[in-house]
A and B are shown apart, each in its own frame.
Chain A
Amino acid sequence: MPLLIKGRAVVEDGWMLLREAAALADVPADSPVIVPLALWQSEHDALAARGNVGVWLKPDDDPDALAGDVERLPLIAIDFPKFVDGRGYSSARLLRDKHRFAGELRAIGDVLRDQLYYLRQCGFDAFAIRVDRKAEDALGGLDDFSDNYQSTTARPVPLFRRRDTASESDTPLPTA
């Protein structure tokens, strides 16, 4: 079974990713599967009834298309065909912040250690590291930074609301 970073641990992945499924016949009957958005939409009722079907989005798929399904979907995956294509970061934030999706949000495709921190801040909590790299080696990337300035999905209160300017510890550092 392929490995996956889930939260902060490396676990075995129980989900099957169907990159090419075009018809219901392509979908195995019992095991948990992740299907393309197009198939989810065309076979919506049959797939939704199963409870163990997730959906994956291409970079240009509109997350709003899942607005009505976020409550029932256990898993949504977002594909990064190339890690430099950053659209998935915004898709993730829309799913989490706008549509309040609370299930597993998984990054798939060209997913590498050096992007994990940013991905996590945007709401991803599962990372299917590219198959030629070891998930264990990538784990450290989750902790490249200990904080961020912005309001993010994972840490919604921005730094400027957390600074305690009255306290000694948050006064400016000496520059000399």
Chain B
Amino acid sequence: MYQYDRHDQRLVDERVAQFRDQTRRFLAGELSEDEFRPLRLQNGLYIQKYAPMLRIAIPYGLLSTRQLRKLAHIGRKYDRGYGHFTTRQNIQFNWPRLEDVPDILAELASVQMHAIQTSGNCVRNITSDHFAGVAGDEIVDPRPYAELFRQWSTFHPEFAYLPRKFKIAVSGSAIDRAATLVHDIGVHAVRNEAGEVGFRVLVGGGLGRTPIIGHVIREFLPRQEILNYLDAILRIYNRFGRRDNMYKARIKILVKEMTLPVFAQHVESEWERLQGGLATVPDQEIERLASFFVPPPYEAVPGEDAGFRSAIADNRAFGNWVKRNVFPHKVPGYAVVSLSLKKTGVPPGDATSDQMDVVADLADIYSFGELRVSHEQNLIFTDVKQAELLALWGELKTLGFATPNIGLLTDIICCPGGDFCSLANAKSIPIAEAIQRRFDDLDYLYDIGDIDLNISGCMNACGHHHVGNIGVLGVDKNGQEWYQVSIGGDQGEKASLGKVIGPSFAADEMPDVVARLIDVYIERRHDDERFIDTVRRLGVEPFKERVYAAAH
């Protein structure tokens, strides 16, 4: 992974000193609440329902075991012994004290981490494909570019006070695992006919109140021009994005109101001026960045491991786990493993400090000392030898991270909701748990197969409910918590937004509602048809009929 040099280190150290002084001045009354708020947000610090909440960046999802141990330590020393992995490749701590935050940032800087721009109206943590570098379907490894963008966005002096937050995701595969279509900018690393690496650039996607799928603004951009192009897009957005209404301030609204062709014309003419200038990225820099992402020293293993094959045959539980939580690796004899943070009864994405320490030990033993965080709120070991999967599985079971449910109904994406978030209309974690409890029969879950169920506690959509095959949204009706259900949403390269099936439900109805949606699917599906495909084929009507016929 990327390693800081003295320049990178100096910048994060200077940031810690800056924030320490800002916090001191705030506590001394020299900075007003309004003056301090944007400064603390740009250091990841929210003031939440019960306490401050600190959001730490895990740039494009990459974490070394040394860094994970530091997070475990922070959880233990400054918080209540756990952290929450989010859908944006960040980790949040819910109970730090404001006075301690400068010290926490200093601890992070000591392991080349930070909380820079994890919140606020600026360019946020850059996210990417959690299988980058090991996926067989990869066209280009997106990580060097993700790091290039991380550096470009960090303390960009012109874009620290944008109309609204700005999220950029990068993918290098035909299969989009980074939800690039629902980001302010989606960047796809591609090759043109000549085999040269460049980018397809998308703008104006996003979830929240007004969910929109991003539009292609440029089919092919030479790789050297990408920072000039990003500067051009951000400059147009910074100047013309709406600032009168915070609900209409995202770039997606600007693109919609201006229309894509007009917006693109502005961007292209600005880019024309910048093209070839000093921000043009020389290939040496791309090579320098790429040199940090070379493959680990894989052993030459003779393809499929025989012991592994027989263990699958002999041990049904292990076989189930392999089927759901283990993914193919481009190197023979190796596998990618997903650690499920979706055990029933534990809030999705939560891990204790003790668990983090054990995960770090395991990654040192089994996966070259590195791991990933996925936007589905799970952890990933990218480089495990097939022959060692059985042993790893045993360890993960003890740890509670071997629930064999990746991609299944109980692998729920869920925001913190009313239990923690002051913007919530309704709780979301208990709904996730009730659904997990209702679907506790593994055979049935396997029979249902691939399905995304996403829950947000309000229309801000932190839980991605719009792009869940089943989406659940907490709404407020006369001060009570209700849940609106949509179906047909999807993430990935065929991203689509779900359709609301009808009036909302009370919390205790939710497991039944989901069960009825699944019943319709089981009865009407064709062979091998996934839930989303059945919904696409049949439309919302049959599902809606069943749910409301039974309810009333």
In the bound complex, CA of A130 to CA of B151 (Å): 32
Contact of B437 with A by CB under 8 A: no
Pick from A36-44, A70-78, A150-158 the stretch touching chain B: A150-158
The reply to whether B160 and A118 form a contact with Cβ atoms under 8 Å apart is yes
B414-438: CB near A (< 8 Å → 1, else 0) gives 0000000000000000000000000
Q: Does B298 interact with chain A (Cβ within 8 Å)?
A: no
Establish whether residues A149 and B152, one from each chain, have CB atoms under 8 Å apart when the complex forms.
Answer: yes
* Pairwise interchain contact B7-A159, C-beta atoms closer than 8 A: yes
Q: Which of A122, A160, A172, A176 contacts B281 (CB 8 A)?
A: A160
CB <8 Å contact, B278 and A84 = no
A161 CB to closest chain B CB (Å) equals 7
Chain B's nearest CB lies how many Å from the CB of A174?
8
B66 adjacent to A176 (CB under 8 Å): yes
Contacts of B159 in A (CB 8 A): 86, 89
Q: Which residues of A contact B284 (CB under 8 A)?
A: 165
Q: Are A114 and B39 in contact (CB under 8 A)?
A: yes
- Once the chains bind, are A175 and B161 in contact (CB under 8 Å)? no
Tell me whether A87 and B278 are in contact (CB under 8 A). Answer: no
Which positions 1-51 of chain B face chain A at CB distance < 8 Å? 3-7, 9-11, 14-15, 18, 22, 31, 35, 38-39
**B64 interface residue, CB < 8 Å from A?**
yes
Judge whether A8 is part of the interface by a CB distance below 8 angstroms. no
* Residue from B11, B31, B157 in contact with A118 in the complex, judged by beta carbons closer than 8 Å: B157
Known contacts A150-B156, A169-B6; A86 and B162 CB within 8 A of each other: yes
Interface size class of B (residues with CB under 8 A): 35 or more
**Chain A proximity of B241: nearest CB distance (Å):** 9
Q: B514 within 8 Å of A by Cβ?
A: no
| CB of B484 within 8 Å of the partner chain | no
B279 touches A117 (CB 8 A): no
Q: Please pick, from B151, B243, B278, B282, the residue contacting A149 in the complex, using a CB distance under 8 A.
A: B151
Q: Shortest CB–CB separation between residue B278 and chain A, in angstroms? A: 5
Chain B residues within an 8 Å CB radius of A115: 161
Within 8 A of A (CB), among B187-246: 227, 235, 238-239, 243
Interface membership of chain A positions 83-123, coded 1 if the CB is closer than 8 angstroms to chain B and 0 otherwise? 11111011101000010000000000000101101110110
A interface residues (Cβ-Cβ under 8 A, vs B): 83-87, 89-91, 93, 98, 112, 114-115, 117-119, 121-122, 144-152, 156-161, 163, 165, 169-173, 175-176
The 5 A-B residue pairs with the shortest CB-CB distance, nearest first, are A86-B161, A172-B3, A121-B157, A118-B157, A151-B279
15 A-B interface contacts by CB (under 8 A): A84-B121, A86-B161, A89-B160, A93-B158, A93-B235, A114-B31, A115-B161, A145-B155, A150-B157, A158-B227, A160-B285, A163-B5, A173-B4, A173-B5, A173-B112
Residues of B participating in the A interface, judged by any CB pair closer than 8 Å:
3-7, 9-11, 14-15, 18, 22, 31, 35, 38-39, 64, 66, 111-112, 121, 151-152, 154-162, 227, 235, 238-239, 243, 273, 277-279, 281-282, 284-285, 288, 292
